[in-house]
Amino acid sequence: MMAFTILMLFPILPLTIVALVFDLGFAPPPVTPLLPWKSLLVGLLLGLTFLLLMFDYVDAHLFQRINPIALPEKIAIRLHFLAMLASFGMFWLHWRKRRNLPPPKVEIRL
């Protein structure tokens, strides 16, 4: 859990804030070629910390120890997974936009 917290707070939180600032249009010119890859980088780092979080969850639940933070950890896992999927989704949408592909479309027919 300590490795998850350290990796989540120190490199990912500032990287996410920087990505948000770059999305608002405050990117310096030398960084602009790397902007399409920012969501992928955030997603990969979130994936790394997600693996650490899942390791802690499996370790705490398979060895029959008392886990006082079971409910908050389950909520954190779900929110973390959602953030990771959203980051990969943003990368996919930016990739489609760069290739001039139409936006994805979902149709439901009854």
**Which residue, 85, 88, 80, is CA-closest to 9?**
80
* Long-range pairs of 34-43 with CB within 8 A, sequence gap ≥ 24: 36/91, 36/94, 36/95, 36/98, 37/91, 39/87, 39/88, 39/90, 39/91, 39/94, 40/87, 40/88, 40/91, 41/15, 42/12, 42/15, 42/16, 42/87, 43/84, 43/87, 43/88, 43/91
Is the separation of the CB atoms in 47 and 84 below 8 Å? Answer: yes
Q: For every one of its 110 residues, what pLDDT tens digit does the chain have, with 9 covering 90 and above?
A: 666 667 667 777 787 788 788 878 788 888 888 888 888 988 898 898 888 888 888 877 777 667 677 777 788 889 889 999 999 998 999 899 888 998 888 889 88
Q: What is the residue-wise DSSP string for 38-56?
A: HHHHHHHHHHHHHHHHHHH
**Is 0.85 topped by the overall pTM?**
no
Instruction: For residue 4, give both structure tokens.
Output: 């998850």
Predicted confidence at residue 86, as pLDDT, reads: 93
The CA radius of gyration of the chain, in Å to the nearest whole number, is: 18
